[in-house]
Structure 1
Amino acid sequence: MRTVLVLNGPNLNLLGTRRPEVYGSTSLQDVEALCRAEAERLGLGLEFRQSNSEGQLIDWIQEFGWEAKAGRCIGAVFNPGAYTHTSVALHDAIEGIELPVIELHVSNVHRREAFRHHSYISPVAVGTVVGLGVHGYPLAIRALHRSSGDRLPDAAPASARTGSPVDPAPDSHEESPS
């Protein structure tokens, strides 16, 4: 079974208690449950990790880069937290591997302080999900799944096979489910 990596950076272990007016009241454990349910629905394994250490995040990115190269990992959803705005090392780690990465932020960083508007990660990410709250995590997993060419398991309900709000076709006029 191929896997998807969900990687969370500094202070995301405080999700649900740190600044709930900005980040919401959902805990990181709840986010993991959302991601696990989406991965299972798509027939994927899930590795869900969090670290406050830049070096540990780099080690995991490199580890899963090798997994992707071997065909065992479809990509990573990465919420780099504050390292978004400071870490050339994380940029270089992602740039140096063959792991598709979607950068994710729970809050809309573009509506916040000016220093949060710049990302060192975006230039090496295949996409970004910003400001959709914790619901951005399963959306990003679906986007990686679609771009990987993996199919939904046969047991998936027909409604799950008819499309997704992540349809990359620019001329698509399908309605997204509510």
Structure 2
Amino acid sequence: MPVYAMLQGPNLNRLGRRDPARYGHRTLPHIQRDVDECADGLGATVLHFQSSHEGDLIDWLHGRQDDEALPLDGGVILNPAGLTRAGWSLRTAVVDTGLPVAIVHLSELHSYGPEPEPDIFLGIANVYIAGAGWRGYRLALEALHGRSEDARRRGSPGSPS
């Protein structure tokens, strides 16, 4: 059973209350339950963590990598939120997992103004979803899981296609 990490960056604990016109009315616990239901259907497990502090996200990810009882082996789903332009340490920690990565943004961040918002995580994404709202997390899990299943069938677990 593959185990995925789902990391949420700054302010995502405020979903449902923070700018619902842009980010929707669903709260983070609602989104996590939806992802867990999807994972159950796929025969997978998702471990969730949210913090508004980059170091906490990194420490949690390192702790999951070192957890022999429930090894993180499926991939990382990440919404870097406020760290999108400057979370270089988090980016490095995610790359260092060696796992496939899905980057999720609830809104279409490239539509916020005349200049596209830079996303330092774009270059590490095996899957990149922006603008699908809360459904983007489910899509990300399904996409990562599909990639893992394809790789297992080819005999090379975790390898990108």
Q: Which TM-score applies when normalising by structure 1? A: 0.76
| Mapped contact 2:76–2:94 kept (Cα < 8 A) | no
* Aligned positions of 1:58-77 closer than 5 A: 58-65=58-65, 72-77=72-77
**Following TM superposition, by how much is the alpha carbon of 1:116 offset from its aligned partner in structure 2, in angstroms?**
6.3
**Which residue of the partner structure matches residue 23 of structure 2?**
23
**Which residue of the partner structure matches residue 42 of structure 1?**
42
**Which residue of the partner structure matches residue 158 of structure 2?**
none
| Mapped contact 1:32–1:48 kept (Cα < 8 A) | yes
**Which residue of the partner structure matches residue 98 of structure 2?**
98
Q: How has the CA–CA distance of structure 1 residues 11 and 114 changed in structure 2, closer, same or farther, with 3 Å as cutoff?
A: farther
**Which residue of the partner structure matches residue 78 of structure 2?**
78
The superposition leaves residues 45-75 of structure 1 with CA deviations (integer Å, 9 ceiling, x where unpaired) of 12111111100111233344456xx975200
**Following TM superposition, by how much is the alpha carbon of 1:44 offset from its aligned partner in structure 2, in angstroms?**
0.6
Q: Highest CA radius of gyration, 1 or 2?
A: 1
The gaps in structure 2 that reach 5 residues or longer are 151-160
One-letter amino acid of the counterpart of residue 100, structure 1: P
The gaps in structure 1 that reach 5 residues or longer are 151-168, 170-178
Q: Distance in 2 between matches of 1:35 and 1:115?
A: 32
**Which residue of the partner structure matches residue 145 of structure 1?**
145
| Mapped contact 1:9–1:83 kept (Cα < 8 A) | yes
DSSP 3-state at the match of 1:21:
helix
Q: Which TM-score applies when normalising by structure 2? A: 0.84
**Following TM superposition, by how much is the alpha carbon of 1:96 offset from its aligned partner in structure 2, in angstroms?**
2.3
- Please, what is the CA RMSD of the aligned residues? 2.4
